[in-house]
Chains A and B, each alone.
Chain A
Amino acid sequence: MTCPYRNEDRIDVLLDYSAGRLDAARVNLLERHMMECSQCAEFRAGQQQVWQAMDEYLAPLPSADFNRGVWRKIDAAAADPWYRNLGRVVRDGAWKPVFPMAAAVLLVAAGFVFDHRNASSAVPTVTVAEANQVQNTLEDLQLLQNLDASEAEVAEPIL
């Protein structure tokens, strides 16, 4: 059977135990459990080894000049021109709506350009009724021409 402590949601209990951050009541409960659960006992041993090893990993302290460096940066930022400060605000994401806003503006602009291009390059459309009307007119003209020709033949018989 799988131990209830050996899953991602409950792992904090074992981690807190290894870190000595668990209250006494839970420590007792867990230690009783570990007497019977080899998985958790093994976890404890492995975790303690990792933590002991990690204790060895020291990191340097800030230099004596650290604070002066911070104030230098603050003074330099204050002296920067407005557009640099604006750039920093955008880069730092201090004005959070900037990216969604920019995306929205781009989208609207792209839509406008696309729509405008379509409108300017559109070919005038002709309806079926209009086409039929033109066709009928042409046929009528043809008929009249034929009629004129036949009348001329009647009026001037071939000699």
Chain B
Amino acid sequence: MGASPALDAALTLDQDAQLMLRVKDGDNDSFRLLLEKHRAPVVRFVYRMVRDQAVSEELGQEVFLRIYRSRATYEPAAKFTTWLFRIASHLALNWLRDGRNERARNVSMEVREEGAPVREFPDRGPSVEDAMVREVRLEEIRGAIAQLPEKQRAAVLMHKYEEMEYSQIAGALGCSESAVKSLLFRAYETLRARLAHLTSLNQTGFEKRGAA
């Protein structure tokens, strides 16, 4: 009792919003908690948008810088993650639209070799040929996602990997829920067409991997 209206609103929203209200009051430990909790999803999302690890790290840090800088004016009007991903998608889309995406595409192969997560294969697992086939398949998947129009790509990444609700995706992309459904409809149609030739992963003998 006695909490501010903003805090009451936050209590009905989510724990992150409560933490952010504490950040607003000058509690940097709460910001550290938010950073720890959300840095991985933010960097993952940005990486899949821009396909460049160094850039995803840089833009990910910029997202949290903006969160911190906006703490004084923060109001828990929506879920914290909606706000977080709005900033992340804004930065990623701006970066892509700045024309630097061309450079990213050129270096993406090199960066992936250096920056992609270490993939551990079991000792008695796939052979070198299998690994190469797998890499080609992965490149097809990455390429199919990368070729989607930017907004469709952002919507699919938030829907598939971050498991965000339609309303959250709409909030993050600044459009209506029906527009998000339309984006997803078209994006998945395209992906089904582009990836239709890929046989089931289980049929190739690779062990199934969980979602990132």
Q: Which residues of A contact B (CB under 8 A)?
A: 8-9, 11-12, 15, 19, 21, 46-47, 49-63, 66-67, 69-70, 73-74, 77, 88, 92, 94
| Given the contacts A49-B192, A73-B62, A54 and B69 also touching, CB distance less than 8 Å | no
Decide: A52 and B43 in contact? CB cutoff 8 A. Answer: no
Chain A residues lying within 8 Å of B103, measured Cβ to Cβ, are none
Quote the shortest CB–CB distance from A78 to chain B (angstroms): 9
Quote the shortest CB–CB distance from A81 to chain B (angstroms): 15
Question: CB-nearest residue of chain B relative to A12?
Answer: B181
Bound CA–CA A36/B196 (angstroms): 23
Number of interface residues of B (CB under 8 A): 54
Chain A residues lying within 8 Å of B182, measured Cβ to Cβ, are 8
Bound CA–CA A60/B53 (angstroms): 7
Bound CA–CA A105/B113 (angstroms): 51
Quote the shortest CB–CB distance from A109 to chain B (angstroms): 29
Decide: B210 and A55 in contact? CB cutoff 8 A. Answer: yes
Bound CA–CA A56/B210 (angstroms): 8
User: Digit string of B39-82 for contact with A (CB within 8 Å is 1, else 0)?
Assistant: 11001100110000100110011101110111001000000000
Bound CA–CA A56/B143 (angstroms): 13
Chain A residues lying within 8 Å of B124, measured Cβ to Cβ, are none
Decide: A46 and B70 in contact? CB cutoff 8 A. Answer: no
Chain B 1-52 interface residues, beta-carbon cutoff 8 Å to A:
32, 35-36, 39-40, 43-44, 47-48
| Given the contacts A49-B192, A53-B201, A61-B43, A77 and B69 also touching, CB distance less than 8 Å | yes
Chain B residues lying within 8 Å of A60, measured Cβ to Cβ, are 43-44, 47, 53, 56, 115-117
Could you pull out 26 A-B pairs where Cβ atoms are within 8 angstroms? A8-B178, A8-B185, A12-B166, A12-B184, A19-B160, A47-B188, A49-B195, A49-B196, A56-B201, A56-B209, A57-B138, A57-B142, A58-B209, A59-B43, A59-B48, A59-B56, A59-B117, A61-B117, A62-B40, A63-B57, A67-B35, A67-B39, A69-B57, A73-B65, A77-B65, A94-B73
Q: Specify which of A59, A88, A94 lies most central, judged by the most chain B CB atoms within 10 Å of its CB.
A: A59
Quote the shortest CB–CB distance from A19 to chain B (angstroms): 8
| Given the contacts A53-B195, A73-B65, A11 and B57 also touching, CB distance less than 8 Å | no
Chain A residues lying within 8 Å of B39, measured Cβ to Cβ, are 62, 66-67
User: Digit string of B165-179 for contact with A (CB within 8 Å is 1, else 0)?
Assistant: 010000000000010
Chain B residues lying within 8 Å of A11, measured Cβ to Cβ, are 181, 184-185
Question: CB-nearest residue of chain A relative to B112?
Answer: A60
Chain B residues lying within 8 Å of A8, measured Cβ to Cβ, are 178, 181-182, 185
Q: Does B88 contact A (CB under 8 A)?
A: no
Q: Does B159 contact A (CB under 8 A)?
A: yes
Bound CA–CA A57/B159 (angstroms): 14
Q: Does B212 contact A (CB under 8 A)?
A: yes
| Given the contacts A50-B191, A50-B195, A73-B61, A55 and B35 also touching, CB distance less than 8 Å | no
Chain A residues lying within 8 Å of B192, measured Cβ to Cβ, are 46-47, 49-50
Decide: A94 and B69 in contact? CB cutoff 8 A. Answer: yes
| Given the contacts A52-B201, A94-B73, A57 and B212 also touching, CB distance less than 8 Å | yes
